[in-house]
Amino acid sequence: MGEQNEQQTQRSNRSAAKLAGMAVLMFGFAFALVPLYDVFCDITGINGKTSDVAAQESNQVDFSRTVTVEFVSYINPGLGWDFVPETKRISVHPGETHTIAYRATNNTAVNSIGQAVPSVSPGLAAQYLNKIECFCFNRQPLDAGKDAELPLVFYVDPGIPDDINTLTLAYTLFSVKPEPVTQ
């Protein structure tokens, strides 16, 4: 009977070790999933992320075609702001520079800071939307009860594939904490 208990204990220990090993592997996989997803999206170009670096103006305009650009906005719950594009949709010639604006209103009784995060749909079109100037490059402080016009200067790259006729630029506005003051 003692030998049977010893075998049972050994099997239990092996099972526990296997389960612990699986837990470590699952944690490692979950930890690596985000960087792997980012690499996959960068390789395939389907992530919808736009560049966070200002582009230079285009020196080439393709007047032979037009692309429709739609503008939408979302607000992270709890921010207490209104945030809307002043222009909902425009038709542009690839390479042609355009300026539109979003309007932000702080409906709260306290000063706050927002940060807009852009995304483009379809995701493959993100690499062809070039922002020369964008409010999304910086945090946007807004005093209580005030509003602001937030400009966007952009162009669609003339190299955009012919099968992309419409792209949607969406901004999600998040609340951010003030940066700590360093002395």
Residue-by-residue pLDDT tens, the chain, 183 positions: 667 778 888 888 888 888 888 888 777 777 666 565 555 555 444 444 554 555 566 678 899 999 999 999 999 888 899 999 999 999 999 999 999 999 999 999 999 999 999 999 998 888 899 999 999 889 999 999 999 999 999 999 999 999 999 999 999 999 888 766 565
CA distances from 112 to 23, 118, 175 (A): 42, 20, 7
Say what the pTM is. 0.68
Judged on CB neighbours under 10 Å (0-12, 13-18, 19+), 69 is buried
User: How many beta carbons lie within 10 A of that of residue 10, not counting itself?
Assistant: 10
d(CA 143, CA 78): 16
Q: What is the CA radius of gyration of the chain?
A: 25
* Residues present in the chain in total: 183
Tokens of 165: 């006729």
Can you give the pLDDT at residue 40? 52
Q: Are 127 and 121 contacting, i.e. CB atoms less than 8 angstroms apart?
A: no
Whether residue 77 has a cis bond before it, omega within 30° of 0: no
Could you tell me the sign of the dihedral formed by the alpha carbons of 28, 31, 127, 125, in that order? positive
